[in-house]
Amino acid sequence: MAVYKLELLRKAMIEKEISALVIPSGDPHFGEYIQAHYKCVEWLSGFNGSAGTIAVTLKDAALWTDSRFFVQAEAQLSGSGIELMKMKIPGTEGIDTWIKKRLKRGERVGVVKELLSLSDFSMLQQDLMPLELVEIDDIFQTVWKSRPVVESYTINVLDDVYAGESVSTKHARVVAEIGEEGDFLYIISSCDDIAWLFNIRGTDIEFNPVPLAYAALTRSSMTLFIKNGTLSDELNLHLKKEKVRVMDYDEFDTFISTYPAASIRIASKDKISLNKYNISLSGGASFSADTKRGGVIANLKAIKNETEISGFRKAMILDGVAWVKYLRFIEERIKESGNPPGEWEAAAKIALLRAESDLYMGESFAPIVAFGANAALPHYEPSEAVHSIIGIDNFLLTDTGAQYICGTTDTTRTIAIGEITEEQKRDYTLVLSGMINLAMARFPSGTRGAQLDILARGPVFSAAKMYMHGTGHGVGHYLCVHEGPQSIRMEENPVVLKPGMITSDEPAIYEEGRYGIRCENLILCKEWCKNKFATFYEFETLTLVPFDTKPIIRDLFGKERITWLNEYHRRVFRELSPYLKNDDREWLKLKTADID
Amino acid sequence: MAVYKLELLRKAMIEKEISALVIPSGDPHFGEYIQAHYKCVEWLSGFNGSAGTIAVTLKDAALWTDSRFFVQAEAQLSGSGIELMKMKIPGTEGIDTWIKKRLKRGERVGVVKELLSLSDFSMLQQDLMPLELVEIDDIFQTVWKSRPVVESYTINVLDDVYAGESVSTKHARVVAEIGEEGDFLYIISSCDDIAWLFNIRGTDIEFNPVPLAYAALTRSSMTLFIKNGTLSDELNLHLKKEKVRVMDYDEFDTFISTYPAASIRIASKDKISLNKYNISLSGGASFSADTKRGGVIANLKAIKNETEISGFRKAMILDGVAWVKYLRFIEERIKESGNPPGEWEAAAKIALLRAESDLYMGESFAPIVAFGANAALPHYEPSEAVHSIIGIDNFLLTDTGAQYICGTTDTTRTIAIGEITEEQKRDYTLVLSGMINLAMARFPSGTRGAQLDILARGPVFSAAKMYMHGTGHGVGHYLCVHEGPQSIRMEENPVVLKPGMITSDEPAIYEEGRYGIRCENLILCKEWCKNKFATFYEFETLTLVPFDTKPIIRDLFGKERITWLNEYHRRVFRELSPYLKNDDREWLKLKTADID
């Protein structure tokens, strides 16, 4: 099937006079999740991981993905005629080298218009030299017969009671951050930046509660470009009140090209497509890059205000209650001999339990419920068709999150089912130790995530093991569960951690073919104290879900972490118990009992 | 006095038609220590810290230095007419801003020829725009009446038995690292790179056992430029054997300018002066920067070979023996009522004890022996004229190091004299904890120092304290005690730690006006194990000197670190005791006894 599609695509490539095509797995808004319409990588290859780039020449094809998806990609690409290229593994060719080996000087490499950001396009262009990289019209419109259309739905207003700040004050702060002296037009493509700025949410994208939209700001005006039919009366009122001009999504290109040439255009190079960049300059304006990593809006959005933080705390209680019921459900179903749930049933169960809350808006990412060897795949997702039944004598890893109107959650718990080995107990103890070490960190202002990463990773290293993903990603407020610009990972990221930033804390160990362990809480950076030396920060753990204490090897875990865990568990019980019925409360009492 | 010198200088500046002069504290070889001839900053200001830059306009003058020297600079600049500018403190103007505020467009800023590296010159030039930055002839030759001349001494050969690699194989490795395809001339100004490459050592510079020299390499030849009269017969033989051409130091400029223009010139931008760069291109050649941080030679030199590592281990024994005698001397002199030693006497004592070894070549930096509040100045140096008598009820900090022909040492121990407070005990415990945490680290290949820094710094942060200097610097092999390119500090440094690198591990706490604590060992990076996840590294502690265990608060210190310390102390005793006489051995037995 995939081979046949490749042939169709190659015919179209010949017509467009390109000898190679690069197919990124994104859409024109550069978010993590995309509509079915843009899933060209999946359509062509069968690979449905969230990160993968394909390069096709007239003879060969290959897909680049990272370690999270190696096993999955290997299975899904089998027989597709598309070779798997394991990123960051020594010896793996880059996409540029791979293409350059196959093309002759003078041949052209194409990429579908709007799908590469200005920075990615420039980088690829540089890397591919002397080959020419060109933007082409959407080649998939002709070769992909039953391609889904782009869908759009009514946009919702996020009440001030949840947002905590009006659109106009956000606008003023953005303008101040931009810091431009003259007239400017600030161009925004990224939907979550737009959702934050305008206090709106949408349902156009799975998991990310954002509408498909563009926006353009000047010092004194805001224009929002949304799809036809998505403007409700409520939204209309809200935007009028905030003096936001509304225009059609499809008018954006004309607007940015015809805006007075005297005003400079500003955008973040990694959040605007080459095409939009070119259009914005076609009227004769000059360009000034927003050089803040992720852009100025992402930097403001990352720092949650008091209302958002209270919302997160509330979301954690709602989520914790669902988790307690879920964990008890798993335990009881395991006890019922002969009736263990499947991973898919378990994933559906926790979603149902969350949905009991009126504030629940949906899942924040595809649920991961993975037993035994499945958990060794960091981004394994059970499906109704393909999943395992939860077995015995191994770990069950559950990594799920929810969107509540007041906040977003992302939690991983690993629990031992039956008997586990000493190695498994040790690894569990080390992973949980790492998570707690990071949660306990205290550090001065100016600290970057890469400096703290070792706190979580160190215990894992001490067993000569490692995990290939980051330790922590930013989390949006009823927005994207993976949000920039901060991160806690091995790679240097110049963004410093600041009070109000919410980040995940999720060390792990994966033993391929055997088991996987990950523990994850969300942590809030806040001021701890200020003295002659510095202003010091610390983390507040937000997530409220008990950990399995059975596998913990006490001596290895150590006194400091035992104290932390006991205090955490007491807090979990204190905060959740008022919302639990007798049975659940008794169960939680047991699970959160002190260890020594 | 300083004011009078400033006036002399300003007259000379007017003659040279410059409105500002920048005076860096370096020489044309960009090392840490310089001959008296180049101590223009000290001559002008009285400030004798090792890092300080002065800017002088026709009206004002200021000196920029870092936190290590704030207190010292404040005292030494008093009444000099030179303002102290505290670097990295919020609100402190940069040198560029300071000058720009004082000069008019069209006015020129001067810097003495050869004293700024190509990269520093370019940066300052950029920062000072639109003012013009120009190189001028050495203005101090006229204004500094009794200026010392540049001295040079006979150069010694470092026997293969200590170096462990011949000049020719080093040359081959350097050429391979340079990786240039065509003909090239690689230009070297830094004396320690030259000393390493040619297996030579000198005594031209205090503390750094290097000769003043330049060198130039091609793929197949090496030329060494040394001062008249420094070539011994032994060196002559050695260089002949290694096919090194010898030329006069003063011929270097002509050589690099008249070398065939067809060959490109290569140098590390931070290790070549703007002047040398210009001279090297004056014959029409093109330039290709050596982009390895610190240059390719620094990167090769940082990785010690087996012979060098064995030499370090031997040096640590020699040094440990001297330390034991020193610490016992301090203890006994304190016990003798009414006769405590002064800091200066103590500093002289440890040097004398080290000199008992035939392999001792001198101190590796100015000794720091600091009692009480003096120890709060991270780079306090007692002098014969100005020092304190070691008192009671506070810490004595000793940070000294030696050059042995087989390796370089750098050790800090802090010992409690009399009674100390609970806060002091806690701080001591935290500093030592941090030092041990880093020493115990295990990490995969590819790890940078900035990722590990928090291990040493974290315990200090936990008390809401911090130290402003790095945690670890590279150490040369019978070369500079501060050697690049690796470091362990908060600031990002892309250089990854590799087996064979030797780095210091020296967290600290400074309480201004009260006390200072620093614990420092040298640690060697080496392979720990290799598996499907990664190749993992660990540190071997090289330094062999007992720690004061009295101030340690056991509960805070924790089991893991108690175990580490007991094992370390057993090793110290095991390795040093064969070289100690009865009394010293008994004393060490007591000092290295297990704690629990």
Residue A465 distance to chain B (closest CA, Å): 6
Q: Is residue A596 part of a domain?
A: no
Q: Are residues B395 and B524 in the same domain?
A: yes
Q: Which residue of A has its CA nearest to B466?
A: A533
Looking at residue B206, which CATH number applies to its domain?
Answer: 3.40.350.10
Q: Which residues of A477-488 are buried (b: 16+ CB within 10 A; e: fewer)?
A: bbbbbbbbbbbb
Put simply, the answer to whether B465 touches A441 (Cβ < 8 Å) is no
Residue B124 distance to chain A (closest CA, Å): 23
Sheet strands (E) in A378-534: 394-400, 402-404, 407-408, 411-417, 442-444, 472-474, 483-488, 502-505, 508-511, 515-518, 521-530
- The alpha carbons of chain B give a radius of gyration, in whole angstroms, of 25
Confidence check: pLDDT of B378 > 80: no
Q: Is residue A528 part of a domain?
A: yes
A48 neighbors A36 (Cβ within 8 angstroms): no
Interface residue A558 vs chain B (CB under 8 A):
yes
- Residue of A78, A72, A7, A14 whose CA lies nearest to A383: A72
Task: Return the ∠ at Cα B72 (arms to B68 and B74), rounded to 5°.
Answer: 110
Put simply, the answer to whether A461 touches B454 (Cβ < 8 Å) is no
Mutation target among A443, A452, A461 for the B interface, most CBs of B within 10 A:
A461
Mean pLDDT of B411-422: 98
Question: Cα–chain-centroid distance for residue A92?
Answer: 25
Using the structure block, give the residue that is written with the tokens 């926006």.
Answer: A215
Q: Are residues B484 and B504 in the same domain?
A: yes
Beta-sheet pairing, B264-267 with B184-188: parallel
Task: Write out the two tokens for A162.
Answer: 């949840």
Residues of A within 8 A of B450 (CB-CB) are 450-451, 492
Q: Which residue of A has its CA nearest to B528?
A: A464
pLDDT of residue A377: 83
- Residue of B350, B383, B345 whose CA lies nearest to B364: B350
d(CA A180, CA A182) in angstroms, rounded, equals: 6
Q: Are residues A449 and A565 in the same domain?
A: yes
Residue A252 distance to chain B (closest CA, Å): 39
Q: Is residue A151 part of a domain?
A: no
d(CA B454, CA B460) in angstroms, rounded, equals: 9
- The alpha carbons of chain A give a radius of gyration, in whole angstroms, of 25
Q: How far is CA A235 from CA A155, A174, A241, A324, A580, in A?
A: 7, 22, 10, 37, 37
Q: Is residue B469 part of a domain?
A: yes
Q: Are residues A133 and A185 in the same domain?
A: no
pLDDT of residue A2: 67
Residue A439 distance to chain B (closest CA, Å): 13
Put simply, the answer to whether B443 touches A461 (Cβ < 8 Å) is yes
Confidence check: pLDDT of B1 > 70: no
Q: How far is CA B169 from CA A133, A335, B174, B421, in A?
A: 44, 69, 9, 56
Using the structure block, give the residue that is written with the tokens 């920067």.
Answer: B289
Looking at residue A571, which CATH number applies to its domain?
Answer: 3.90.230.10
Q: Are residues B273 and B315 in the same domain?
A: no
ipTM over 0.90: yes
Q: Is residue A148 part of a domain?
A: no
Q: Is residue A76 part of a domain?
A: yes
Beta-sheet pairing, B53-57 with B502-505: unpaired
Q: Which residue of A has its CA nearest to B559?
A: A558
Instruction: Quickly count: other Cβ atoms within 10 Å of residue A134's Cβ.
Output: 14
Confidence check: pLDDT of B324 > 80: yes
Q: Which of residues 432-491 of B touch A (CB under 8 A)?
A: 441-444, 446-448, 450-455, 458, 461-462, 464-466, 490
Instruction: Quickly count: other Cβ atoms within 10 Å of residue A469's Cβ.
Output: 17
Q: Are residues A201 and A318 in the same domain?
A: no
d(CA A302, CA A472) in angstroms, rounded, equals: 14
C-alpha dihedral sign at A34, A39, A40, A46: positive
Residues of A within 8 A of B453 (CB-CB) are 451
Q: Are residues B350 and B259 in the same domain?
A: no
Put simply, the answer to whether B465 touches A533 (Cβ < 8 Å) is yes
Sheet strands (E) in B260-410: 264-267, 287-289, 360-363, 368-371, 394-400, 402-404, 407-408
Put simply, the answer to whether A454 touches B455 (Cβ < 8 Å) is yes
Q: Are residues B265 and B128 in the same domain?
A: no
Put simply, the answer to whether A466 touches B444 (Cβ < 8 Å) is yes
d(CA B421, CA B293) in angstroms, rounded, equals: 44
Structural domain ending residue among the three candidates B297, B330, B349: B297
Q: Is residue B596 part of a domain?
A: no
Structural domain ending residue among the three candidates B274, B297, B320: B297
User: Does residue A198 sit in helix, strand or coil?
Assistant: helix
Q: Which residue of B has its CA nearest to A536?
A: B464
- Residue of A508, A516, A548 whose CA lies nearest to A372: A516
Interface residue A1 vs chain B (CB under 8 A):
no
Put simply, the answer to whether B534 touches A441 (Cβ < 8 Å) is no
Residues of B within 8 A of A465 (CB-CB) are 533
Confidence check: pLDDT of B454 > 90: yes
Q: Please tell me the total number of residues recorded for chain A in this structure.
A: 596
Using the structure block, give the residue that is written with the tokens 């005003």.
Answer: A263
Residue A553 distance to chain B (closest CA, Å): 15
d(CA B173, CA A104) in angstroms, rounded, equals: 35
Residue B92 distance to chain A (closest CA, Å): 16
Q: Which of B453, B465, B534 sits opposite A466 (nearest CB)?
A: B534
d(CA B446, CA A90) in angstroms, rounded, equals: 12
Q: How far is CA B519 from CA B288, B397, B423, B460, B545, in A?
A: 42, 9, 17, 12, 11
Q: Are residues B139 and B181 in the same domain?
A: no
Task: Annotate B166-218 with DSSP letters as a single string.
Answer: -HHHHHHHHHHHH--SS-EEEEE--HHHHHHHHTEE--SSSSS----EEEEE-
Residues of B within 8 A of A492 (CB-CB) are 448, 450, 492, 494
What residues have CB less than 8 Å from B569, skipping those under 6 apart?
A: B546, B547, B591, B592, B593, B594
User: Does residue A20 sit in helix, strand or coil?
Assistant: strand
pLDDT digits (tens, 9 = 90+) for B334-356: 999 888 999 999 999 999 999 99
- Quickly list H helices, A219-305: 233-241, 252-258, 274-281, 296-301
pLDDT of residue B2: 67
Q: Are residues B121 and B259 in the same domain?
A: no
d(CA A139, CA A17) in angstroms, rounded, equals: 12
Using the structure block, give the residue that is written with the tokens 């999740």.
Answer: A33
Q: Which of A451, A466, A531 sits opposite B533 (nearest CB)?
A: A466
Residue B454 distance to chain A (closest CA, Å): 6
Put simply, the answer to whether A447 touches B560 (Cβ < 8 Å) is no
A52 neighbors A76 (Cβ within 8 angstroms): no
Confidence check: pLDDT of B51 > 80: yes
- What residues form DSSP beta bridges with B366? none
Put simply, the answer to whether B531 touches A441 (Cβ < 8 Å) is no
d(CA A232, CA A200) in angstroms, rounded, equals: 11
pLDDT digits (tens, 9 = 90+) for B490-537: 999 999 999 999 999 999 999 999 999 999 999 999 999 999 999 999
Put simply, the answer to whether A529 touches B464 (Cβ < 8 Å) is yes
d(CA B457, CA B452) in angstroms, rounded, equals: 9
Residues of B within 8 A of A454 (CB-CB) are 441, 443, 451-452, 454-455
Put simply, the answer to whether A455 touches B450 (Cβ < 8 Å) is no
What residues have CB less than 8 Å from A7, skipping those under 6 apart?
A: none
Structural domain ending residue among the three candidates B111, B143, B175: B143
pLDDT of residue B383: 87
Q: Are residues A509 and A388 in the same domain?
A: yes
Residue B507 distance to chain A (closest CA, Å): 15
Q: Is residue B151 part of a domain?
A: no
d(CA A146, CA A570) in angstroms, rounded, equals: 55
Q: Are residues A81 and A168 in the same domain?
A: no
Using the structure block, give the residue that is written with the tokens 């600031």.
Answer: B491
d(CA A55, CA B351) in angstroms, rounded, equals: 66
Residues of A within 8 A of B458 (CB-CB) are 441-443, 455
Q: Please tell me the total number of residues recorded for chain B in this structure.
A: 596
Q: Which residue of A has its CA nearest to B446?
A: A490
- Residue of B367, B357, B313, B360 whose CA lies nearest to B543: B313
Residues of A within 8 A of B490 (CB-CB) are 446-447, 451
Residue B465 distance to chain A (closest CA, Å): 6
Compute the mean pLDDT over every residue in chain B, rounded to the nearest whole number. 96
Q: Which residues of A230-254 are buried (b: 16+ CB within 10 A; e: fewer)?
A: bbeeebeebbeebebeebebeebbe
Amino acid in the structure at residue B562:
I
Residues of A within 8 A of B510 (CB-CB) are none
Amino acid in the structure at residue B395:
F
Q: Mean pLDDT for each consecutive 10-residue tract of chain A (596 residues)?
A: 87 96 95 94 92 96 91 90 92 95 95 95 94 96 95 96 98 96 95 98 96 97 96 96 98 96 94 95 93 95 98 98 98 91 97 98 97 89 90 97 98 98 98 98 98 98 96 98 97 98 98 96 98 97 98 96 98 98 97 97
- Residue of A167, A152, A569, A201 whose CA lies nearest to A404: A201
Q: How far is CA A32 from CA A23, A49, A269, in A?
A: 15, 11, 17
d(CA A162, CA B241) in angstroms, rounded, equals: 80
Phi, psi (degrees; rounded to nearest 5) at A225:
-110, 110
Structural domain span for residue A205: 156-301
Q: Number of residue pairs across A and B with CB atoms under 8 Å? A: 76
Residue A85 distance to chain B (closest CA, Å): 18
Provide the domain count of chain A.
3
